[in-house]
Structure 1
Amino acid sequence: MKVFEAIEGRRSVRKYKDKDVEDEKIAKILKAATWAPSWANTQCWRFIVVRDEGIKKDLADALSKGNPATDAFLDAPVVIVGCAKREVSGYKGGEAVTEKGDWYMFDIGLAMQNLMLTAYSLSLGTVQTGSFEAQEAEKILDIPEEVSVVSMTPVGYPDREPNVPERKDLDEIVFENKYGK
Protein backbone atom coordinates (compact mmCIF):
# COMPACT_ATOMS: atom_id res chain seq x y z
CA MET A 1 0.00 0.00 0.00
CA LYS A 2 1.29 3.45 -0.90
CA VAL A 3 1.62 6.04 1.88
CA PHE A 4 -0.94 8.49 0.48
CA GLU A 5 -3.41 5.62 -0.03
CA ALA A 6 -3.07 4.77 3.66
CA ILE A 7 -3.45 8.44 4.67
CA GLU A 8 -6.63 8.83 2.61
CA GLY A 9 -8.07 5.45 3.53
CA ARG A 10 -7.54 5.28 7.29
CA ARG A 11 -10.69 5.89 9.32
CA SER A 12 -11.60 5.98 12.99
CA VAL A 13 -12.95 2.51 13.74
CA ARG A 14 -15.18 1.98 16.76
CA LYS A 15 -16.68 -1.45 15.97
CA TYR A 16 -14.52 -4.55 15.77
CA LYS A 17 -14.93 -8.20 14.79
CA ASP A 18 -14.53 -10.86 17.44
CA LYS A 19 -11.15 -11.90 16.05
CA ASP A 20 -7.70 -11.83 17.66
CA VAL A 21 -4.93 -9.72 16.16
CA GLU A 22 -1.81 -11.69 15.32
CA ASP A 23 1.30 -10.93 17.40
CA GLU A 24 3.27 -10.34 14.19
CA LYS A 25 0.91 -7.54 13.19
CA ILE A 26 1.11 -5.91 16.61
CA ALA A 27 4.92 -6.09 16.43
CA LYS A 28 4.88 -4.53 12.96
CA ILE A 29 2.70 -1.58 13.95
CA LEU A 30 4.79 -0.97 17.06
CA LYS A 31 7.97 -1.09 14.98
CA ALA A 32 6.44 1.50 12.62
CA ALA A 33 5.70 3.73 15.63
CA THR A 34 9.37 3.64 16.64
CA TRP A 35 10.41 4.92 13.20
CA ALA A 36 8.55 8.20 13.72
CA PRO A 37 10.69 11.32 13.91
CA SER A 38 11.32 12.69 17.40
CA TRP A 39 13.05 15.72 18.88
CA ALA A 40 16.82 15.15 18.54
CA ASN A 41 16.02 11.43 18.13
CA THR A 42 15.16 11.23 21.85
CA GLN A 43 12.44 8.62 21.23
CA CYS A 44 10.60 9.50 24.43
CA TRP A 45 7.71 7.17 23.58
CA ARG A 46 6.78 4.02 25.43
CA PHE A 47 3.91 1.67 24.51
CA ILE A 48 1.76 -0.73 26.49
CA VAL A 49 -0.11 -3.49 24.67
CA VAL A 50 -3.23 -4.35 26.64
CA ARG A 51 -5.07 -7.60 25.95
CA ASP A 52 -6.40 -8.24 29.47
CA GLU A 53 -10.20 -7.79 29.48
CA GLY A 54 -10.25 -6.36 33.02
CA ILE A 55 -7.61 -3.73 32.24
CA LYS A 56 -9.36 -2.80 28.98
CA LYS A 57 -12.60 -2.33 30.95
CA ASP A 58 -10.81 -0.17 33.52
CA LEU A 59 -9.32 1.96 30.71
CA ALA A 60 -12.76 2.27 29.10
CA ASP A 61 -14.08 3.48 32.47
CA ALA A 62 -11.31 6.12 32.54
CA LEU A 63 -12.53 7.62 29.24
CA SER A 64 -14.50 10.86 29.42
CA LYS A 65 -18.23 10.37 29.87
CA GLY A 66 -19.93 9.86 26.53
CA ASN A 67 -16.66 9.16 24.69
CA PRO A 68 -17.71 7.37 21.47
CA ALA A 69 -14.67 5.06 21.73
CA THR A 70 -15.82 3.49 25.01
CA ASP A 71 -17.40 0.38 23.45
CA ALA A 72 -14.39 -0.01 21.15
CA PHE A 73 -12.13 -0.47 24.20
CA LEU A 74 -14.32 -3.36 25.28
CA ASP A 75 -14.81 -4.91 21.81
CA ALA A 76 -11.31 -4.65 20.33
CA PRO A 77 -8.94 -7.50 21.14
CA VAL A 78 -6.08 -5.05 21.83
CA VAL A 79 -5.66 -1.54 23.21
CA ILE A 80 -2.32 0.17 22.67
CA VAL A 81 -1.42 2.93 25.10
CA GLY A 82 1.05 5.57 23.97
CA CYS A 83 3.10 6.97 26.85
CA ALA A 84 5.99 9.42 26.99
CA LYS A 85 8.92 10.09 29.27
CA ARG A 86 8.59 13.75 30.24
CA GLU A 87 11.39 16.34 30.12
CA VAL A 88 13.30 14.47 27.41
CA SER A 89 11.89 15.71 24.11
CA GLY A 90 12.57 19.40 23.61
CA TYR A 91 15.20 19.47 26.34
CA LYS A 92 18.94 20.00 26.35
CA GLY A 93 21.00 19.85 29.51
CA GLY A 94 17.82 19.41 31.56
CA GLU A 95 16.27 22.65 30.27
CA ALA A 96 13.46 23.19 27.77
CA VAL A 97 14.97 24.85 24.70
CA THR A 98 11.82 26.50 23.26
CA GLU A 99 8.90 28.40 24.73
CA LYS A 100 6.74 25.38 23.88
CA GLY A 101 8.49 23.38 26.60
CA ASP A 102 8.13 19.61 26.56
CA TRP A 103 7.61 18.24 23.05
CA TYR A 104 6.45 14.77 24.12
CA MET A 105 2.88 15.34 22.89
CA PHE A 106 4.19 16.10 19.41
CA ASP A 107 6.50 13.09 19.36
CA ILE A 108 3.77 10.72 20.56
CA GLY A 109 1.40 12.15 17.95
CA LEU A 110 3.89 11.30 15.21
CA ALA A 111 4.47 7.80 16.58
CA MET A 112 0.74 7.11 16.94
CA GLN A 113 0.15 8.32 13.37
CA ASN A 114 2.76 5.83 12.10
CA LEU A 115 1.15 3.12 14.22
CA MET A 116 -2.36 3.83 12.93
CA LEU A 117 -1.36 4.09 9.26
CA THR A 118 0.54 0.82 9.48
CA ALA A 119 -2.41 -0.83 11.23
CA TYR A 120 -4.64 0.29 8.36
CA SER A 121 -2.18 -1.10 5.81
CA LEU A 122 -2.53 -4.47 7.60
CA SER A 123 -6.37 -4.36 7.44
CA LEU A 124 -6.65 -3.35 11.10
CA GLY A 125 -8.72 -0.53 12.51
CA THR A 126 -7.83 2.04 15.18
CA VAL A 127 -9.29 5.18 16.70
CA GLN A 128 -7.14 7.90 18.26
CA THR A 129 -8.40 8.41 21.81
CA GLY A 130 -7.26 11.34 23.90
CA SER A 131 -10.30 12.27 25.98
CA PHE A 132 -9.69 10.36 29.21
CA GLU A 133 -8.62 10.84 32.80
CA ALA A 134 -4.86 10.46 32.39
CA GLN A 135 -4.09 10.09 36.10
CA GLU A 136 -6.62 7.27 36.37
CA ALA A 137 -5.13 5.49 33.32
CA GLU A 138 -1.67 5.92 34.84
CA LYS A 139 -2.80 4.26 38.08
CA ILE A 140 -4.42 1.38 36.18
CA LEU A 141 -1.22 0.77 34.19
CA ASP A 142 1.32 1.32 37.02
CA ILE A 143 2.96 4.19 35.13
CA PRO A 144 6.09 5.62 36.82
CA GLU A 145 6.08 9.27 37.93
CA GLU A 146 8.29 10.56 35.09
CA VAL A 147 6.01 9.12 32.38
CA SER A 148 2.63 10.33 31.08
CA VAL A 149 -0.14 8.45 29.29
CA VAL A 150 -0.85 10.54 26.20
CA SER A 151 -2.98 8.56 23.78
CA MET A 152 -4.74 5.23 23.52
CA THR A 153 -6.15 3.29 20.59
CA PRO A 154 -8.12 0.10 20.31
CA VAL A 155 -6.74 -2.19 17.59
CA GLY A 156 -8.68 -4.88 15.78
CA TYR A 157 -10.33 -6.00 12.58
CA PRO A 158 -13.05 -3.51 11.60
CA ASP A 159 -16.61 -4.81 11.78
CA ARG A 160 -17.72 -2.36 9.07
CA GLU A 161 -16.36 0.37 6.82
CA PRO A 162 -16.70 3.79 8.52
CA ASN A 163 -18.03 6.79 6.59
CA VAL A 164 -15.60 9.09 4.82
CA PRO A 165 -15.50 12.43 6.66
CA GLU A 166 -15.45 15.69 4.75
CA ARG A 167 -12.14 17.52 4.55
CA LYS A 168 -11.67 21.26 4.31
CA ASP A 169 -10.51 22.66 0.99
CA LEU A 170 -6.86 23.72 0.88
CA ASP A 171 -7.82 27.33 0.15
CA GLU A 172 -9.56 27.42 3.56
CA ILE A 173 -6.48 26.33 5.50
CA VAL A 174 -3.37 27.17 3.45
CA PHE A 175 -1.95 30.69 3.16
CA GLU A 176 0.99 32.05 1.26
CA ASN A 177 3.70 34.10 2.92
CA LYS A 178 1.45 35.42 5.74
CA TYR A 179 -1.50 34.11 7.70
CA GLY A 180 -4.84 34.92 6.10
CA LYS A 181 -3.35 35.92 2.72
Structure 2
Amino acid sequence: MSEMLKLIKERRSVRRYLDKEVDEAMLQQVLESVQWSPSWANTQVWEIVVVKNPEIKEKLAATLGKGNPAAKAMVEAPLVLVVCGKKNASGFYKDQVTTKFGDWMLFDLGIATQSLCLTARSLGLGTVVVGLFDQDAAGKVVNLPDGMELVAMVPMGHIAKDSGAPKRKEISDFVHQDTF
Protein backbone atom coordinates (compact mmCIF):
# COMPACT_ATOMS: atom_id res chain seq x y z
CA MET A 1 0.00 0.00 0.00
CA SER A 2 1.34 3.44 -0.86
CA GLU A 3 2.20 5.85 1.95
CA MET A 4 -0.49 8.24 0.68
CA LEU A 5 -3.23 5.61 0.71
CA LYS A 6 -2.14 4.54 4.19
CA LEU A 7 -2.38 8.15 5.36
CA ILE A 8 -5.84 8.58 3.83
CA LYS A 9 -7.03 5.39 5.52
CA GLU A 10 -5.64 6.47 8.90
CA ARG A 11 -7.10 10.00 8.92
CA ARG A 12 -9.92 10.38 11.45
CA SER A 13 -12.23 13.07 12.76
CA VAL A 14 -10.55 13.74 16.09
CA ARG A 15 -12.63 15.41 18.79
CA ARG A 16 -10.35 14.96 21.85
CA TYR A 17 -7.00 16.71 22.14
CA LEU A 18 -4.09 16.78 24.58
CA ASP A 19 -3.28 20.01 26.39
CA LYS A 20 -0.14 20.47 24.33
CA GLU A 21 0.72 23.27 21.92
CA VAL A 22 1.26 22.58 18.22
CA ASP A 23 4.85 23.28 17.23
CA GLU A 24 5.12 26.31 14.91
CA ALA A 25 7.11 24.27 12.36
CA MET A 26 4.29 21.70 12.22
CA LEU A 27 1.70 24.46 11.73
CA GLN A 28 3.78 25.92 8.91
CA GLN A 29 3.90 22.53 7.16
CA VAL A 30 0.11 22.25 7.40
CA LEU A 31 -0.28 25.76 5.98
CA GLU A 32 2.23 24.97 3.23
CA SER A 33 0.04 22.05 2.18
CA VAL A 34 -2.80 24.54 1.67
CA GLN A 35 -0.47 26.83 -0.28
CA TRP A 36 0.33 24.01 -2.72
CA SER A 37 -3.21 22.69 -3.11
CA PRO A 38 -4.69 22.84 -6.61
CA SER A 39 -7.41 25.37 -7.39
CA TRP A 40 -9.49 26.52 -10.36
CA ALA A 41 -7.13 28.35 -12.76
CA ASN A 42 -4.73 28.72 -9.81
CA THR A 43 -7.07 31.25 -8.18
CA GLN A 44 -5.98 30.14 -4.68
CA VAL A 45 -9.16 31.59 -3.13
CA TRP A 46 -8.43 30.30 0.38
CA GLU A 47 -7.71 32.38 3.45
CA ILE A 48 -6.94 30.69 6.78
CA VAL A 49 -7.41 32.36 10.16
CA VAL A 50 -5.27 30.61 12.78
CA VAL A 51 -7.07 30.97 16.11
CA LYS A 52 -5.12 30.23 19.30
CA ASN A 53 -6.79 32.76 21.62
CA PRO A 54 -9.03 30.83 24.08
CA GLU A 55 -11.64 33.61 24.18
CA ILE A 56 -12.00 33.64 20.40
CA LYS A 57 -12.19 29.82 20.32
CA GLU A 58 -15.01 30.01 22.91
CA LYS A 59 -16.87 32.56 20.76
CA LEU A 60 -16.45 30.35 17.68
CA ALA A 61 -17.66 27.31 19.63
CA ALA A 62 -20.75 29.30 20.62
CA THR A 63 -21.73 29.47 16.92
CA LEU A 64 -22.16 25.68 16.81
CA GLY A 65 -25.63 24.28 17.26
CA LYS A 66 -26.61 22.50 20.47
CA GLY A 67 -25.37 18.93 20.53
CA ASN A 68 -22.67 19.43 17.88
CA PRO A 69 -20.10 16.73 18.74
CA ALA A 70 -17.23 19.08 17.84
CA ALA A 71 -18.15 21.75 20.43
CA LYS A 72 -15.63 20.51 23.01
CA ALA A 73 -12.92 20.11 20.35
CA MET A 74 -13.30 23.77 19.37
CA VAL A 75 -12.06 24.91 22.79
CA GLU A 76 -9.92 21.89 23.76
CA ALA A 77 -7.73 21.90 20.63
CA PRO A 78 -4.75 24.25 20.93
CA LEU A 79 -5.73 25.92 17.69
CA VAL A 80 -8.58 26.19 15.21
CA LEU A 81 -7.97 26.78 11.52
CA VAL A 82 -10.85 28.87 10.16
CA VAL A 83 -11.17 28.13 6.44
CA CYS A 84 -12.47 31.05 4.40
CA GLY A 85 -12.70 31.71 0.68
CA LYS A 86 -12.94 34.59 -1.74
CA LYS A 87 -16.31 34.63 -3.51
CA ASN A 88 -16.78 35.05 -7.28
CA ALA A 89 -13.23 34.17 -8.33
CA SER A 90 -12.92 30.40 -8.65
CA GLY A 91 -14.96 29.22 -11.62
CA PHE A 92 -15.14 32.69 -13.10
CA TYR A 93 -13.54 34.20 -16.19
CA LYS A 94 -13.76 37.96 -16.82
CA ASP A 95 -16.26 38.22 -13.93
CA GLN A 96 -18.58 35.67 -15.58
CA VAL A 97 -19.38 32.28 -14.11
CA THR A 98 -18.10 29.58 -16.44
CA THR A 99 -19.66 26.36 -15.18
CA LYS A 100 -23.05 24.88 -14.41
CA PHE A 101 -22.10 24.85 -10.74
CA GLY A 102 -21.17 28.52 -10.48
CA ASP A 103 -18.62 29.50 -7.87
CA TRP A 104 -16.04 26.71 -7.42
CA MET A 105 -14.81 28.18 -4.11
CA LEU A 106 -16.27 25.29 -2.08
CA PHE A 107 -14.57 22.74 -4.33
CA ASP A 108 -11.21 24.47 -3.98
CA LEU A 109 -11.62 24.85 -0.21
CA GLY A 110 -12.51 21.17 0.03
CA ILE A 111 -9.24 20.25 -1.66
CA ALA A 112 -7.28 22.65 0.57
CA THR A 113 -9.00 21.33 3.69
CA GLN A 114 -8.21 17.74 2.72
CA SER A 115 -4.58 18.76 2.18
CA LEU A 116 -4.32 20.32 5.64
CA CYS A 117 -6.04 17.36 7.34
CA LEU A 118 -3.79 14.80 5.66
CA THR A 119 -0.65 16.82 6.37
CA ALA A 120 -1.68 17.21 10.00
CA ARG A 121 -2.21 13.45 10.27
CA SER A 122 1.19 12.78 8.68
CA LEU A 123 2.71 14.87 11.50
CA GLY A 124 0.83 12.94 14.19
CA LEU A 125 -1.79 15.66 14.69
CA GLY A 126 -5.54 15.27 14.65
CA THR A 127 -8.22 17.38 12.99
CA VAL A 128 -11.97 17.44 12.58
CA VAL A 129 -13.73 19.43 9.86
CA VAL A 130 -16.59 21.39 11.42
CA GLY A 131 -19.29 22.55 9.03
CA LEU A 132 -22.48 22.71 11.10
CA PHE A 133 -22.50 26.19 12.66
CA ASP A 134 -23.72 29.72 12.02
CA GLN A 135 -21.20 30.83 9.39
CA ASP A 136 -22.27 34.49 9.50
CA ALA A 137 -21.91 34.69 13.30
CA ALA A 138 -18.51 32.97 13.14
CA GLY A 139 -17.47 35.38 10.39
CA LYS A 140 -18.17 38.30 12.73
CA VAL A 141 -16.02 36.70 15.42
CA VAL A 142 -12.98 36.65 13.09
CA ASN A 143 -13.80 40.00 11.41
CA LEU A 144 -14.37 38.42 8.00
CA PRO A 145 -14.27 41.11 5.30
CA ASP A 146 -16.86 41.58 2.55
CA GLY A 147 -16.40 39.35 -0.49
CA MET A 148 -15.31 36.42 1.68
CA GLU A 149 -17.20 33.39 3.00
CA LEU A 150 -16.32 31.44 6.15
CA VAL A 151 -16.84 27.81 5.15
CA ALA A 152 -15.38 25.49 7.79
CA MET A 153 -13.50 25.42 11.07
CA VAL A 154 -10.85 22.80 11.77
CA PRO A 155 -9.68 22.21 15.35
CA MET A 156 -6.16 20.79 15.26
CA GLY A 157 -3.85 19.38 17.89
CA HIS A 158 -2.16 16.39 19.44
CA ILE A 159 -4.56 13.45 19.62
CA ALA A 160 -5.89 12.45 23.05
CA LYS A 161 -8.35 9.89 21.77
CA ASP A 162 -8.40 8.33 18.32
CA SER A 163 -11.11 6.15 16.85
CA GLY A 164 -11.34 3.20 14.54
CA ALA A 165 -12.28 3.45 10.89
CA PRO A 166 -15.96 3.79 10.07
CA LYS A 167 -17.50 1.31 7.65
CA ARG A 168 -16.82 2.20 4.02
CA LYS A 169 -18.74 1.39 0.86
CA GLU A 170 -17.24 -1.28 -1.35
CA ILE A 171 -15.56 0.15 -4.47
CA SER A 172 -18.03 -1.79 -6.62
CA ASP A 173 -20.86 0.15 -4.92
CA PHE A 174 -19.75 3.49 -6.38
CA VAL A 175 -17.71 2.79 -9.51
CA HIS A 176 -19.34 2.50 -12.95
CA GLN A 177 -17.58 1.43 -16.12
CA ASP A 178 -18.07 3.56 -19.26
CA THR A 179 -21.64 4.60 -18.36
CA PHE A 180 -23.64 5.02 -15.19
* Bucket of the pairwise TM-score, normalised by the shorter protein: over 0.9
Distance in 2 separating the partners of 1:164 and 1:97: 38
Aligned to 2:104: 103
Structure 2: 5+ residue runs without aligned partners? none
Q: CA deviation at 1:161?
A: 2.0
SS at 1:37's partner residue?
A: coil
Aligned to 1:61: 62
* TM-score (structure 2 length as normaliser): 0.97
**Aligned pair 1:154/2:161, yes or no?**
no
- The amino acid of 1:126's aligned partner reads T
SS at 1:137's partner residue?
A: helix
Distance in 1 separating the partners of 2:47 and 2:75: 22
Aligned to 2:172: 171
Deviations 1:42-62 (A, max 9, x none): 000000000000110111111
Distance in 1 separating the partners of 2:89 and 2:157: 32
SS at 1:110's partner residue?
A: helix
Q: CA deviation at 1:164?
A: 1.3
**Aligned pair 1:27/2:36, yes or no?**
no
Identity %: 41
Aligned to 2:136: 135
Distance in 2 separating the partners of 1:64 and 1:89: 30
Q: Which stretch of structure 1 is more off in the superposition, 112-121 or 56-65?
A: 56-65
Distance in 1 separating the partners of 2:91 and 2:47: 17
- The amino acid of 2:65's aligned partner reads S
SS at 1:116's partner residue?
A: helix
Q: CA deviation at 1:112?
A: 0.5
- The amino acid of 2:70's aligned partner reads A
Aligned to 1:114: 115
Q: CA deviation at 1:64?
A: 2.2
Aligned to 2:47: 46
- The amino acid of 2:142's aligned partner reads L
Aligned to 1:144: 145
Distance in 1 separating the partners of 2:45 and 2:19: 33
Deviations 1:99-120 (A, max 9, x none): 2100000000000000000000
4+ runs deviating over 4 angstroms: none
Aligned residues: 179
SS at 1:81's partner residue?
A: strand
Q: CA deviation at 1:5?
A: 1.4
- The amino acid of 2:104's aligned partner reads W
Aligned to 1:15: 16
Q: Which stretch of structure 1 is more off in the superposition, 158-167 or 74-83?
A: 158-167
* TM-score (structure 1 length as normaliser): 0.97
SS at 2:159's partner residue?
A: coil
**Kept in 1: contact 2:15–2:161 (CA 8 A):** no
Q: CA RMSD in A?
A: 1.0
SS at 2:50's partner residue?
A: strand
Aligned to 2:37: 36
Structure 1: 5+ residue runs without aligned partners? none
- The amino acid of 2:114's aligned partner reads Q
